[in-house]
Amino acid sequence: MSIQDITIVITSFKSDEKIRDCLNSIQNKCKVLLIENSNNSEFKKKIEIEFDNVECFLTGENLGYGRANNVGLKKVKTKYALILNPDTLLEQSTLNDFFNITKTIGNFAIIGPYIQEKNLENNTVDNNKIKMSATSKIDLHKNSKPLLNLNLRLVENVKGFAMFLNLQEFNEIGFFDENFFIYFEEIDLCRRAIKDNKKIYLAPSIKINHSGGQSHNNSINSEMELSRNWHWMWSTFYYHKKYDGFTFALIKTFGKLLSSMFKLLVYLIILNKKWKIYYQRFSGLINAIIGKKSWYRPKV
């Protein structure tokens, strides 16, 4: 087993300022499929000239996280794939550490690395709330104990910024649910894997640096924050509706609906620009409740 047994899949959108640090942290012998959510041919040209191990595919439009990752995963010809966000940095031993674990455990669907976040304190208040909510708490299986000397843990889900996949385990369940644009798609994938008796591990010994919410260029931060708020609410309702039904999803999100309505009105009255955030939250949730698809796209 070697570096040739893995392909790294990265989905990007307006990530020109961020992606190079990520790519520079990857061993140049490792194949990388970069799925760019645009038709930016100049970006593709520059990246492929600068990095011999990177093949960039242009989707022509912003497909979102899950759907674009599916585009990449379907092109992978190796046994394993590592999904990365553009705002991640691998350490020198990261890939070898993954391989060493696969030699030990054999049967698995997903391995998640240690959660190592940066810059959380620099996010806006609204961004923080979304980030902390979207970071689903790692749920350990009952009576889970560290495996061998690797301190591995069987878990219910791992975070989507870095997911090491054993691709043959996904032949029957598929990859990401493309109804999600962003948020909850990795939790949904993990849930389907667990339902199909697949094993998901958390590996605290593997560290991948993740800035969090910093995958795009800084110049579009405001618009991306609006998009995150809309999709967080839409995806929350859709996820609960998918697994627990419409009524449960409505009960689960009713407080969020009232809160967003109240804050929207207050900030409109006092002419505070935060009204845009709460309008997005209200709109995303209403669209999910009435059964509309996740249609909102960042206006950049």
3-state SS of the chain: helix, strand, coil percent to 5? 45, 20, 35
Provide the residue range defining the domain that includes 226.
218-289
- 67 and 112 both lie in a single domain: yes
Distance between start and end Cα atoms, the chain: 43
Q: What is the pLDDT of residue 3?
A: 78
Token match 């961004």: residue? 127
* Total of domains in the chain: 2
Contact (Cβ atoms closer than 8 angstroms) between residue 1 and residue 99: yes
Contact (Cβ atoms closer than 8 angstroms) between residue 37 and residue 61: yes
Assigned domain for 259 exists: yes
- 129 and 198 both lie in a single domain: yes
- 243 and 151 both lie in a single domain: no
**Which H/E stretch holds residue 39?**
none
Give residue-wise pLDDT tens across range 13-23: 988 878 999 99
- CATH number (domain holding residue 111): 3.90.550.10
Q: What is the pLDDT of residue 218?
A: 67
Give residue-wise pLDDT tens across range 51-100: 999 999 999 999 999 999 999 999 999 999 999 999 999 999 999 999 98
